[in-house]
Chains A and B, each alone.
Chain A
Amino acid sequence: MNATVRKLIPQLITILVVVLVFGFFTINAQTNMDNRGIEFGYGFLSQEASFDVQFSLIEYDGSHSYARAYLVGLLNTLLVAFIGIIISTILGVIIGIARLSPNYLIERSAAFYVEFFRNIPLLLQIFFWYFAALRALPLPQDAEAIMGVFFLTIKGLFVPRFVWENLDVFFYSILAVIISIVVIKNYARRLQENEGKQLPVLYISLGLFIILPLLTFLIGGVSLGFEIPVIKQLSTTSFVYEGGLGIPPELIALTLALALYTATFIAECVRAGIQGISKGQKEAAASIGLTPNQVLKLVIMPQALRIIIPPTTNQYLNLTKNSSLAAAIAYPDLVLVFAGTALMQTGRAIEIVSITMLTYLSISLSISVLMNWYNKRIAITEK
């Protein structure tokens, strides 16, 4: 048989099978929907949602559209992902480095942490924090004030809300700091190339970062007030805090569990990255006279980061996907709000589930594409 034909046949068969399967599904879907009188279409998105959401970053109530509800859920998911990524990265880096410590106690403690949190299902950890640990917190009326203004209660963490005066001036000062740091870095680099002198860029940047915004307070007319949460009695047994910002316990439990769990994997990534650098690199760098800090900054970290960053980004993706477990504790993330409540109300299973999955798919794929681009750019040139 001709080689081309031999290659063509399996492909044609596969395409045929795929088409048949999809056709089968589509026909059934059509029939089922006709039988139940459901129409297919995405028009429902502009209908009124008529359900409330416990926690939202943007203005929302029952009179807004389903599309807006989708946005609320999406923002809540991104919020959890964002905070979770930051905390788990910091924690993961510390524990990863601790795993390499020559100090027996430190290394064993880090190893214990990793083994402990890695082998317990994430859902179980979320349940533990939400139903067991956070339930042990006091009622609003019994809560002790931390530093006078923070209240950790069973109904959530209540923190003072920032009340800004002339926020835009402050914002511009931050912008100015960033721009000046970039300028100074460039200047320092050129100075070193031309004259060999080294500027303490880190200290200068820190100094600017602190002083400039501070100046705006003194002379720029910016002022920062705090709206402190104050307890208010709703009824004989029910108290609540007014003013300030209330962080719902669902958010706390979810973020905490996600961060602690993902940190274990990030710690292993960091450890693998640093261990992957052969000892000879450190020795060679030391033998040409570089100080330990310079060895770390110029030789070890550039190589280690190349090994660490790809799997760590994968973990960030996992964290974002795992945030969908919020449905289990009623934190209004994308899945609960849209694929849960909205779906139950409208019955538009196919449309809603497809939109939800598409959203997660886009997030995953764009991170993958970004990662591939990054890998190609920084790849160490080899033969």
Chain B
Amino acid sequence: MSDPIIKIENMNKWFGDFQVLKDINLSVEKNKKIVVCGPSGSGKSTLIRCINRLEEHQEGNIVVDGNELTENTKNIEAIRAEVGMVFQQFNLFPHLSILDNCTLAPVWVKKMPKKDAEQLAMKQLEQVQIADQAHKFPGQLSGGQQQRCAIARALCMEPKIMLFDEPTSALDPEMIKEVLDAMVNLAKAGMTMIVVTHEMGFAKEVADEVIFMDEGMIVERAETKEFFANPKSDRTKLFLSQIL
């Protein structure tokens, strides 16, 4: 068994007085797909945002691919280059074309020549089936198209881990499928993924493990089949009965 690519030990986080993450212990191995679910305010988004230091943890340690997350900026930047993130609100850069959105980081962070970056970007855009929109601007695309582009943008940095923060929650129902399909393809290609979502269908199809969080704690963690068939905790049972 190889070393886990993400290792979180005894992590605690407060927002002011309010403790939002309590005693989180989590290790994720390479190529695994983890789905994190739970009610609103359970801290799931905060948890994955701590992994790429969009939020800071006060206690405990987080180690990503051998690098420990501290205030050391060089560490943070090294980690961010290996961890890609897709947001609920897409957050595409509206003043740049789709192609430029994708090539921005490779050119400025990895110092890639523009042509190579564009080749890479077109490849990723084709993977999510949006290559024909490459020269349009985010304002001209639908929500589903924008989110797929956001996935391609994150993939252009060739990350080892992909984090998804409720990627389909801001989409109209008819566009959810196209984004989930893109994520399924990504999973099948072997990417390590941590996905915060309410889409249990996706979890059943692709996830290796499911984590249930409530009130800042990891309540239950099990392999997908086990999780849905035999939820152990009462809270998990309650949550599943509301969602499914």
Residue of B nearest to A383 (CB): B140
Across the interface, A193 reaches (CB within 8 A) one of B108, B110, B113, B153, namely B113
Which residues in B have their C-beta under 8 angstroms from that of A287?
52, 54, 80, 83-85, 154
Which residues in A have their C-beta under 8 angstroms from that of B172?
none
A198 and B111 within 8 A (CB): yes
B66 interface residue (CB < 8 Å to A): no
A381 to nearest B CB, angstroms? 4
Which residues in B have their C-beta under 8 angstroms from that of A306?
95
Residue of B nearest to A292 (CB): B73
A303 to nearest B CB, angstroms? 6
B91 and A284 within 8 A (CB): yes
B112 and A196 within 8 A (CB): yes
Instruction: Identify which of B54, B92, B112, B117 gathers the most chain A CB atoms within 10 Å of its CB.
Output: B54
A381 and B108 within 8 A (CB): no
B115 to nearest A CB, angstroms? 7
A241 to B136, CA, bound (A): 65
Which residues in A have their C-beta under 8 angstroms from that of B94?
303, 380
A196 and B116 within 8 A (CB): yes
A289 and B93 within 8 A (CB): no
A197 and B111 within 8 A (CB): yes
- Mask, B96-111, CB within 8 Å of A = 1, is 0000000011011111
A288 and B114 within 8 A (CB): no
Across the interface, A288 reaches (CB within 8 A) one of B84, B95, B137, namely B84
Instruction: Identify which of A281, A289, A380 gathers the most chain B CB atoms within 10 Å of its CB.
Output: A289
B77 interface residue (CB < 8 Å to A): yes
B-contacting residues, A278-292, CB 8 Å? 278, 280-281, 283-291
The segment out of A99-107, A244-252, A294-302 that lies at the interface is A294-302
A281 to B104, CA, bound (A): 13
Given A289-B81, A380-B94, A380-B95, are A284 and B109 also a contact pair (CB < 8 Å)? no
Residue of B nearest to A194 (CB): B113
A382 to B141, CA, bound (A): 9
Q: How many residues of B contact A (CB 8 A)?
A: 37
Given A193-B113, A380-B95, are A288 and B140 also a contact pair (CB < 8 Å)? no
Residue of B nearest to A378 (CB): B95
Across the interface, B140 reaches (CB within 8 A) one of A193, A286, A298, A381, namely A381
Residue of B nearest to A280 (CB): B91
B139 interface residue (CB < 8 Å to A): yes
A195 interface residue (CB < 8 Å to B): yes
B228 interface residue (CB < 8 Å to A): no
B-contacting residues, A112-150, CB 8 Å? none
A382 to B136, CA, bound (A): 9
A196 and B113 within 8 A (CB): yes
B114 and A290 within 8 A (CB): no
A299 to B77, CA, bound (A): 17
Residue of A nearest to B83 (CB): A287
Given A192-B114, A298-B104, A381-B137, are A289 and B91 also a contact pair (CB < 8 Å)? no
Given A198-B111, A380-B139, are A288 and B87 also a contact pair (CB < 8 Å)? no
B115 and A194 within 8 A (CB): yes
Given A288-B109, A298-B104, are A381 and B139 also a contact pair (CB < 8 Å)? yes
Which residues in A have their C-beta under 8 angstroms from that of B128?
none
Which residues in A have their C-beta under 8 angstroms from that of B154?
287-288
B-contacting residues, A235-290, CB 8 Å? 278, 280-281, 283-290
B137 and A289 within 8 A (CB): no
A289 and B113 within 8 A (CB): no
Which residues in A have their C-beta under 8 angstroms from that of B61?
none
Taking chain A's interface residues, is the majority helix, strand, or loop, or is none over half, making it mixed?
Answer: helix
B89 interface residue (CB < 8 Å to A): yes
Given A288-B157, A303-B94, A303-B95, are A298 and B108 also a contact pair (CB < 8 Å)? yes
B108 and A380 within 8 A (CB): no
B160 to nearest A CB, angstroms? 13
Which residues in B have their C-beta under 8 angstroms from that of A197?
111
Residue of A nearest to B94 (CB): A380
Which residues in A have their C-beta under 8 angstroms from that of B108?
198, 290, 294, 298
B38 to nearest A CB, angstroms? 22
A288 and B77 within 8 A (CB): no
A289 and B111 within 8 A (CB): no
A380 and B137 within 8 A (CB): yes
A382 and B137 within 8 A (CB): yes
B52 and A299 within 8 A (CB): no
A-contacting residues, B16-59, CB 8 Å? 52, 54
Which residues in B have their C-beta under 8 angstroms from that of A194?
113-115
Residue of B nearest to A381 (CB): B137
A299 to B104, CA, bound (A): 10
B139 and A383 within 8 A (CB): yes
B104 to nearest A CB, angstroms? 6
A283 to B83, CA, bound (A): 13
A356 to B72, CA, bound (A): 62
Which residues in B have their C-beta under 8 angstroms from that of A198?
108, 111
Return 29 A-B CB contacts under 8 Å, by A number: A192-B107, A192-B114, A194-B114, A196-B111, A196-B113, A197-B111, A283-B54, A284-B85, A284-B87, A288-B80, A288-B84, A288-B109, A288-B153, A288-B157, A289-B81, A290-B105, A290-B108, A291-B77, A294-B108, A298-B104, A299-B93, A302-B95, A303-B95, A306-B95, A381-B139, A381-B140, A382-B139, A382-B140, A383-B139
The 4 nearest A-B residue pairs measured at CB: A382-B139, A284-B91, A193-B114, A280-B91
- Chain A residues packing against B (C-beta within 8 Å): 192-198, 278, 280-281, 283-291, 294, 298-299, 302-303, 306, 380-383
- Chain B residues packing against A (C-beta within 8 Å): 52, 54, 77, 80-81, 83-85, 87, 89, 91-95, 104-105, 107-117, 136-137, 139-140, 150, 153-154, 156-157
Given A195-B113, A283-B54, output 4 extra A-B contacts at Cβ < 8 Å. A281-B93, A290-B104, A290-B105, A382-B140
